[in-house]
Structure 1
Amino acid sequence: MTNLSEVSKAKNIVIKIGSSLLMNGNRFNSIWLKSFIDDILYLKSKRKNLVIVASGAVSLGRKYLNIKKEKISINTKQACAACGQVILMKNFMRHFEARKIKVAQILLTFSDTEDRRKSLNSRETIKTLLELKIIPIINENDSVATDELKFGDNDRLAARVAQVIGSDLLILLSDVEGLYDKNPKKNKEAKLIQKVTNINSKIFKMSSSETNDFGSGGMFTKIQAAEIASTFGCKTIIMKGNTNSPISTFEKQKKGTIFTNVARKKDSFKNWLGGSINISGSVHIDDGAIKALNDGASLLPSGIKKISGNFSKGDIIEILNSKGKKLGRGISYYDSKELNLIKGKKSIYIRETLGYEGRDEIIHRDYLFLK
């Protein structure tokens, strides 16, 4: 297993910390954070560029506002996040500055990574901080995010941040050592999957709540994050975080799950497209269209067999084969209503069908990402 070398070889590393690691009961876990900073100092001594994605604002805010009931409204949750984020960063700054490390806060909304222009702006901000030897501490802006437009978990946020900065390693600190084939809390025979070379339905089944029910994000979202990271050439390691100096401990014990099934690095735009989590619909295509796409062609209406979802022109849609396997995604030139009218037809019949002159292709090859 090559976990040690993966950490050593990586230049740009995104580290995700869950709220369960930063909280000790109802209090901020300063002891754990101090030991984690030991890891950060070690990685910085190896000239690594580091970005931290940290949860915990809502939990800290609940304590600050003395809110004890389990279920709270979205507005109350946003208020908790607004209060808790201040406490979170206050603790980060106090402990990091005590070790002479400067940190900065960045709060991202869904559109800050899923909108291409905003994504580029986020990238420049993070890159500038790294050039200034400052560690960005990133969290979702839960004080303004809505359920309809939010990441929902910081695992996927961390993966998108990794894409934005072109990271080559994503570290997800977890409540457990990694992905198990069975629930280790219920099965003594459960085995740790130390290396995953292909994220498929079997892997996702292993990560289901019945098999790996850990943390607020859960193992399922960590596999989703690893899948997103793999699209732009970034490896992922899930390791046990609820121990002192977790990264150093991991390097010594070599216990964790590494995902090595990464695609070749593409240009910045296609990396953004491949890792997008804002998918509005999908199209199923025939074998002829699959061959054409693999040969470098654009997607034409004649190759489309089925359309799912309601989407608009300019939305990102998934491309599937006849069996539902994901082949890639791209930006659609037509909305779903128009596509339903012209699917299966040759491009020369688009004007006759729609009543206006449209583009020949559904997705141009320049706006297409293939796995």
Structure 2
Amino acid sequence: MDNTHWKRIVIKCGSALIAPEKNGCSSHYLLSIAHFILRCRERGIDVVLVSSGSVAAGAHLFNEEEQTLAVKKAMAAAGQTEMMATWDKLFDFATAQVLLTHADLRNRDRYENIRSTIDTLVNNGILPIVNENDTITTDKLKVGDNDNLSAMVAAAFDADALIICSDVDGLYDKNPHKHDDAKLLSWVTNIDESIYAIAGDAVSSVGTGGMKTKIQAAEKATSHGIDTFIVNGFTELSFNQLLQGKNPGTHFQPLAKPLSDHQHWMTHTTRAQGELVVEDHFDMQDEEHNEPLTGAALKEVKGQFNVGDTVLVRKDDGTKIAKARSNYSSCLLSFIAEQENPEYADEFQKTTGPILSENNIAILEES
């Protein structure tokens, strides 16, 4: 493992490390992480910290037996200040709070603003501490777990490495909590269905993520060319080995040909608001057509979306072809798709412009 080229890293710390007993924040497990961050900065490596823990940190302040959504949001609001204060006292340099929702990340202008803000903080020697804004998020707006959030932040930050802290040493071939003969997978070169099958659906008793969300995060990060590690965040040895250029857990190797920034953002950060269904024989990359999608090729429109929203383009058999920003609303596209005369659909499109623009398309699979 060669970490000498690292200039920027993102480290993700979960709720179980922040508030292991749900009785407020504890610095017990955070000291070694803080020391690791300090030593990285001393080596000239810029660091962004993605920290869960606001709900777990605020849980002890509430007496309600039933933890409704409103109570959890209140826990997040109260716990966020305690979590930030805990981190802040571990450093002798300035820190900054950055609270995000998925709506911030999937909007390109706001995404660029996030990148600019983090860059400015880092360039001024300030440690950005990122968390999802649980106080205001809804199912439609939330990322859902900070593993995936850390990968999105790593991509926006153009990080060289993403380090995800876990309660085990890395990815095992079976659940190490249930099987004594479980073996650690030190290297993963390709994240496929077999890797997801190994990860299973295990979830921390304190946090919202599990090994599956960590694999999802690794897939996002490696496709952007980012070295990704799952390490045991409960032991200082993990961080000492990373600093020594050793692999203390599971190293997910980046793709040899990473996606471009915009392609990665379209593929892994934007969320499809609807679907455009085309015939099974459709080929978006057919060079005979001047446009990637014509009205005549559109079979069905699913969901409701506005101009500029991201949509999934798929074949009638379910094969996913691409994610793209639509230049039409779902209402207008439904009208086009319902026309029995394909020539009318294409003539209409010539007047109003293309359904999709080539610079706003991310191909998911060859058609």
> Normalization by structure 2: what TM-score?
0.85
Matched residue, 1:224: 216
Equivalent residue in structure 1 for 2:305, among 303, 308, 311: 311
- Deviation per residue, 1:81-102 (Å, 9 max, x gap): 11111111111111112xxx32
Matched residue, 1:237: 229
Q: Is the 8 A contact 1:232 1:274 kept in 2?
A: no
1:284–1:174 distance in 2 versus 1, CA, 3 Å: farther
Name the CA distance, whole Å, in 1 between partners of 2:347 and 2:120: 52
Matched residue, 2:106: 114
- Deviation per residue, 1:96-141 (Å, 9 max, x gap): 12xxx32111111222211111111111111101110111011111
**Misfit runs of 4+, over 6 Å:** 344-347
SS in 1 for 2:130: strand
Give the unaligned 5+ runs of structure 1: none
Q: Is the 8 A contact 2:284 2:292 kept in 1?
A: no
Select the structure that is richer in helix: 1
Matched residue, 1:95: 90
SS in 2 for 1:188: coil
Deviates more, 1:308-317 or 1:248-257: 248-257
Deviation of 1:255 after TM superposition, in Å, equals 3.6
Name the CA distance, whole Å, in 2 between partners of 1:284 and 1:9: 44
SS in 2 for 1:367: strand
Deviation of 1:304 after TM superposition, in Å, equals 4.9
Letter in 2 for 1:8: T
Matched residue, 1:254: 247
1:273 aligns with 2:266: yes
Matched residue, 1:292: 286
Matched residue, 2:187: 195
- Deviation per residue, 1:8-66 (Å, 9 max, x gap): 33222111100101224224221322221221122112211110010111111111x24
1:171 aligns with 2:163: yes
Matched residue, 2:360: 367
1:67 aligns with 2:63: yes
Give the unaligned 5+ runs of structure 2: none
Deviation of 1:171 after TM superposition, in Å, equals 1.3
Q: What percentage of aligned pairs have identical amino acids?
A: 34
1:369–1:15 distance in 2 versus 1, CA, 3 Å: same
Matched residue, 2:11: 15
Name the CA distance, whole Å, in 2 between partners of 1:189 and 1:307: 50
Give runs of aligned pairs for residues 139-158 of structure 1, distance below 5 A.
Answer: 139-158=131-150
Name the CA distance, whole Å, in 2 between partners of 1:68 and 1:232: 43
Name the CA distance, whole Å, in 1 between partners of 2:305 and 2:252: 32
1:344–1:164 distance in 2 versus 1, CA, 3 Å: farther
